[in-house]
Amino acid sequence: MKYLIMMTQSSQDDLPPERAYTPDEVKASWAHMQQIYQELAESGELLATEKLAGPQAAKVVTSDGVNAPVITDGVYPEAKEFLAGFWMVDVDSEQRAIEIAARTSAAPGPGGKATAKPIEVRPIMDAPAPEW
Amino acid sequence: MTARTDVDDLLRELAPQVLGVLVRRFGDFDDAEDAVQEALLAAATQWPAEGLPGNPRGWLITVASRRLTDIWRADQARRHREDLAGARETATPPEPSHQDDSLALLFLCCHPVLMPGSAIPLTLRAVGGLTTAEIAGAFLVPEDTMAKRISRAKKRIKTSQIPFRMPSQGEWTERLHSVLHVLYLIFNEGYAASTGPQVARGELSNEAIRLTRTLHAGLRDDPEVAGLLALMLLTDARRPARTGPDGELVPLAEQDRASWDQDLIAEGSALLSAVLPRRAIGEYQLQAAIAAIHDEAATAEQTDWAQILALYSLLERMTGNPMVTLNRAIAIAMVDGPAAGLAALAGLDTRLAGHHRLDAVRAHLLEMDGEAEGAITHYLLAAGRTTSLAERNYLTTKAAHLGARLP
């Protein structure tokens, strides 16, 4: 079963770790993610992973198909969470996807304490069509 | 997976035979499997250009053995085994039949220590003779990801020290169950995916049938093996009618029965009638019997739902599987009316909580019962929960049709 495991950041100015973290804490956070990456790549579960540029680099595009598209800087104004990156995995069970998400959420933050950021786990449309 | 040529067919038939010989001779399934895979790739490029060698099987064994020696030589830590291999080669025991080797390999690759997600690609490569790229394409994952998965599965077999031989009497039932389950999953993965971008997946059904035929050829007397093969044939017979021109799902009741494959139906039914009287009934035989009843009905209205209901009741008692209970509820609705079917769903709310199939069936039965509003709600709930794109399209279309007819 394929899942998208999404990491979010909670406000526009919640920059990646570098600001609130000491250099060692940044390193610890990266090492944690690198370890998950290694494990997923070696187990044959990882399909793709990307980190997104910050919400500051985003544009929102709307078009009615007739007039020139409307382009605004930034993310959806009403959004409170922004996609920061994702793992795309193919695993044996939802339980395993949740386990990966839990480990991602437990990445060390300032003071070595887990950040406990919410991680969204969403199935990818992938199942064979059933008999009807 | 593209259209198969004669060379491809020959290679895939020979693949497990050659691997069997190498494993028997050198005792290292992991490396031998890599060596055979490379020999197959070499043959796939050379044979079409240069013509078939006089003894294709011998050619593959020679090339694979040479390749295996290269693999070992490259690995300093294993150097001593080369000598071992040399010694063994001179004293090769009498070889069992190709068929036995293919079966022993199938049992090895489908060993219960492996999760299905690992057993499936390993089986397709080692026994089916498919390339890693073909398997990766069929499961829509990167080739490197699939290679890692296969390699891990082989390591697991190695560390578990599973011997290369047919299972003993004591473990027979569990091991056979595991093989049948893996084959069934491969079939399902490919089934109903015969159009559009999912063509490669559709090939998986053919591959599952081919592997199950091999198993059946070696275990003629096993009723469940025959039952599984019959189930696959009787289901696959409907494949041409199962999807519409745009890849949309066509429900059984609306399928063009003239396009069902009558040869497959005849073969599946014959297999089934040969084993059913033996009274060693298992779940695959029962599922096959249900498929046969659908296949033998000239029109949807002529379907013998009473008999299907009886079979589902038997299957429910045998397996206790809530998905069977769900299917049985449909049969109840067809025999005793939708209200009775809806009542039969009552106990499933906790056992199948949040499962899209429960919402889909409830929607269907509510629609039968004339409860359009409720049906729409449950069609849409199911659509939001399914992970099959074709199914989501089907469910949202059903809801839209009902919505359009509302006052």
B392 touches chain A (CB under 8 A): yes
Q: What is the rounded CA–CA span in Å between residue B271 and residue A126?
A: 33
Residue A132 within any structural domain of the chain: no
Q: Which of A44, A128, A132 is facing B145, going by the closest CB pair?
A: A44
Contact present, B366 and B342 (Cβ < 8 Å): yes
Give pTM, 2 decimals. Answer: 0.89
Q: What is the rounded CA–CA span in Å between residue B358 and residue B353?
A: 8
Residue B318 within any structural domain of the chain: yes
Residue A19 within any structural domain of the chain: yes
Cβ count within 10 A of residue B91: 7
Please tell me which residue of chain A has the smallest CA distance to B186. A128
Contact present, A55 and A73 (Cβ < 8 Å): no
Q: What is the mean pLDDT of chain A?
A: 89
Ranking A23-27, A86-90, B87-91, B340-344 by mean pLDDT, the lowest is: B87-91
Specify the CATH number for the domain of residue B388: 1.25.40.10
What are B113's two structure tokens? Answer: 């220590």
Report the pLDDT value the prediction gives residue A132, as an integer from 0 to 100.
66
Backbone angles phi, psi at A46, to 5 degrees: -85, 125
Provide the CA B404 distance to its chain's centre, in angstroms.
39
Residue A131 within any structural domain of the chain: no
Residue B369 within any structural domain of the chain: yes
CB within 8 Å: A41 and B251: no
A121 touches chain B (CB under 8 A): no
Q: Which residue's entry shows tokens 């039968």? A: B368
Chain B residues with CB inside 8 Å of A47's CB? 141-142, 145
Chain B residues with CB inside 8 Å of A131's CB? 191-192, 235, 242, 252
B125 touches chain A (CB under 8 A): no
| pLDDT, tens digit, 9 for 90 and up, residues B207-241 | 999 999 999 999 999 999 999 999 999 999 999 89
User: Best residue in A37, A50, A131 to probe B by mutation, most B CBs within 10 Å?
Assistant: A131
Q: What is the rounded CA–CA span in Å between residue A110 and residue B365?
A: 55
Q: What is the rounded CA–CA span in Å between residue B318 and residue B386?
A: 27
B148 touches chain A (CB under 8 A): yes
Residue A58 within any structural domain of the chain: yes
Q: A59 - beta bridge partners?
A: A73
Domain extent for B321: 304-407
Please tell me which residue of chain B has the smallest CA distance to A93. B117
Distance from the Cα of A2 to chain B's closest Cα (Å) equals 9
B225 touches chain A (CB under 8 A): no
Report the pLDDT value the prediction gives residue B39, as an integer from 0 to 100.
96
What are B178's two structure tokens? Answer: 């595991």
Residue A113 within any structural domain of the chain: yes
Chain B residues with CB inside 8 Å of A125's CB? 387-389, 392
Contact present, A32 and A108 (Cβ < 8 Å): yes
Write out the H or E segment, with its range, that includes residue A73: strand A70-73
Which among B197, B240, B141, B201 is positioned nearest to B1, based on CA atoms? Answer: B201
What are B148's two structure tokens? Answer: 């890692």
B12 touches chain A (CB under 8 A): no
Report the pLDDT value the prediction gives residue B198, as an integer from 0 to 100.
60
Please tell me which residue of chain A has the smallest CA distance to B119. A92
Which among B158, B242, B128 is positioned nearest to B194, based on CA atoms? Answer: B242
Burial of A11 (0-12, 13-18, 19+ CB in 10 A): exposed
What does each C-alpha distance from B138 to A49, B105, B134, B327, B333 come to in angstroms? 21, 22, 6, 29, 37
Chain A residues with CB inside 8 Å of B148's CB? 41-44
**Long-range own/partner contacts, residues A25-30 (CB < 8 A, 24 or more apart):** A25/A108, A25/A109, A25/A110, A25/A111, A25/A112, A28/A108, A28/A112, A29/A107, A29/A108, A29/A109
Mean pLDDT of A23-45: 94
Burial of B29 (0-12, 13-18, 19+ CB in 10 A): buried
Chain B residues with CB inside 8 Å of A46's CB? 145
Which residues of chain B fall below pLDDT 70?
Answer: 1-4, 76-96, 192-200
Domain extent for A63: 2-123
Distance from the Cα of B203 to chain A's closest Cα (Å) equals 13
Residue B160 within any structural domain of the chain: no
Distance from the Cα of B57 to chain A's closest Cα (Å) equals 32
Q: How many domains does chain A have?
A: 1
What does each C-alpha distance from B331 to B185, B290, B304, B321, B364 come to in angstroms? 24, 11, 10, 16, 12
Distance from the Cα of A41 to chain B's closest Cα (Å) equals 7
Q: Which residue's entry shows tokens 């973290």? A: A21
Q: A87 - beta bridge partners?
A: A5, A49
**Cα first-last separation, chain B:** 49
Q: Which of B149, B152, B387 is facing A123, going by the closest CB pair?
A: B387
Distance from the Cα of B344 to chain A's closest Cα (Å) equals 19
Residue A38 within any structural domain of the chain: yes
Residue B323 within any structural domain of the chain: yes
Q: What is the rounded CA–CA span in Å between residue B399 and residue B382?
A: 10
Could you write out the DSSP letters of every residue in B290-346?
HHHHHHH-SSGGG--HHHHHHHHHHHHHHH--HHHHHHHHHHHHHHH-HHHHHHHHT
Chain A residues with CB inside 8 Å of B190's CB? 128
B371-384 exposure pattern, b = at least 16 Cβ within 10 A, e = fewer: bbebbbbbbbbbbe
Cα diameter, chain B: 84
Chain B residues with CB inside 8 Å of A41's CB? 148
Write out the H or E segment, with its range, that includes residue B390: helix B389-405
Chain A with chain B: Cβ pairs closer than 8 A: 75
CB within 8 Å: A47 and B357: no
Residue B327 within any structural domain of the chain: yes
Residue A129 within any structural domain of the chain: no
Amino acid at A90: D
Report the pLDDT value the prediction gives residue B3, as an integer from 0 to 100.
45
Specify the CATH number for the domain of residue A24: 3.30.70.1060
| pLDDT, tens digit, 9 for 90 and up, residues A109-119 | 888 899 888 99
Q: Which residue's entry shows tokens 């790739």? A: B41
Residue A8 within any structural domain of the chain: yes
Q: How many domains does chain B have?
A: 1
Q: Which of A44, A45, A127 is facing B388, going by the closest CB pair?
A: A127
Residue B276 within any structural domain of the chain: no
Please tell me which residue of chain B has the smallest CA distance to A92. B117
Residue B30 within any structural domain of the chain: no
**Where is pLDDT greater, at A10 or B146?**
B146
Residue B215 within any structural domain of the chain: no
* ipTM confidence score: 0.83
